[in-house]
Amino acid sequence: MQGLVMDVKTGNGAFMPTRAKSRALAVSIASVATGAGLPTTALVTDMDRPLADAAGNALEVAYAIDYLTGARREPRMHEVTMALAAEMLVSGRLARTTTAARKQLQAALESGAAAEKFERMVAALGGPKKLLSNPWKHLERAPVQMPVFPTRTGVVTKADTRAVGMVVVALGGGRTRPQDPVDPAVGLTELVGPGDRVGPDHPLGIVHARTDAQAAAAADLLRAAYKVGSRPPREANAVHERITA
């Protein structure tokens, strides 16, 4: 291994919820690893909102495929992905600068090479050989999809990212105990974030559940995870800081 790149999250959905604690963790990781002979870079990235608009096992795989194929690339996800991948190329001496690395990465996305490599990786691990041509032939769908509308019209002023994640756990898409089973089909899509308008025609997200009762319970939890007001909050950077030893 020539180097290590760490993504250290900060915000209400992160292990370290404050910038100061996240930065201290990033500095510690970079210093210890580099001191042990492994050059390490850490990026402190924002987790005060869901990074993707999807949460859940199969739903996140579908989201990743959409990203790689160009069906959709949300700006914040793209920025974090490019920043981390660019650092990896420089660390692995496949690019001299992060600027040059970003050009290589964008070319791999636009040419389809990145998506093709992902498909080959899946096949090499025993998955389907033609995943990209029809992902939902291989990914399980939940039978119930329910849009979740807010109790008032306005602008999202805050998203409790950890609470959003716990909605997926409540649906069965995550574990509270090691022995718990995981349902790959359930989760959330079309999640909004701070600054997005919501109302009768603009839901907070869509719940994917096994039953109507589970969907209704998850909808209540999702509503509680968002605050809606009249004025949008200040936009936070997706990548806050780059740290090296």
Q: What total of structural domains would you count in the chain?
A: 2
Could you tell me the pLDDT band of residue 137, with boundaries at 50, 70 and 90?
Answer: very high
65 vs 22: CA distance, rounded Å: 30
174 vs 56: CA distance, rounded Å: 8
Using left for φ > 0, alpha for ψ between -120 and 50, and beta otherwise, residue 152 falls in beta
For 122-136, the pLDDT digits (tens) are 999 999 999 999 999
Q: What is the pLDDT of residue 1?
A: 84
Does residue 73 belong to any structural domain of this protein?
Answer: yes
22 vs 17: CA distance, rounded Å: 7
- Looking at the fold, whether 65 and 18 belong to one and the same domain comes out as yes
Please report, for the domain that includes residue 151, its CATH number. Answer: 3.90.1170.30
Does residue 51 belong to any structural domain of this protein?
Answer: yes
Please report, for the domain that includes residue 55, its CATH number. Answer: 3.40.1030.10
- Looking at the fold, whether 40 and 148 belong to one and the same domain comes out as no
Q: Span 108-126, mean pLDDT?
A: 97
Q: Which domain holds residue 94?
A: 4-135
Does residue 87 belong to any structural domain of this protein?
Answer: yes
Does residue 109 belong to any structural domain of this protein?
Answer: yes
Asked whether residue 7 carries a pLDDT value surpassing 90, the answer given is yes
- Looking at the fold, whether 8 and 119 belong to one and the same domain comes out as yes
Asked whether residue 18 carries a pLDDT value surpassing 90, the answer given is yes
- Looking at the fold, whether 54 and 152 belong to one and the same domain comes out as no
- Looking at the fold, whether 97 and 36 belong to one and the same domain comes out as yes
CB-CB contact of 156 with 225 (8 Å):
no
Q: Span 176-198, mean pLDDT?
A: 97
| pTM, two decimal places | 0.92
Does residue 242 belong to any structural domain of this protein?
Answer: no
Does residue 108 belong to any structural domain of this protein?
Answer: yes
CB atoms within 10 A of CB 127: 12
Cβ-Cβ contacts under 8 Å for 121 (sequence gap 6 or more): none
For 42-99, the pLDDT digits (tens) are 999 999 999 999 999 999 999 999 999 999 999 999 999 999 999 999 999 999 999 9
Q: Span 146-157, mean pLDDT?
A: 98
- Looking at the fold, whether 128 and 162 belong to one and the same domain comes out as no
Asked whether residue 2 carries a pLDDT value surpassing 90, the answer given is no
Q: Span 188-212, mean pLDDT?
A: 98
Does residue 60 belong to any structural domain of this protein?
Answer: yes
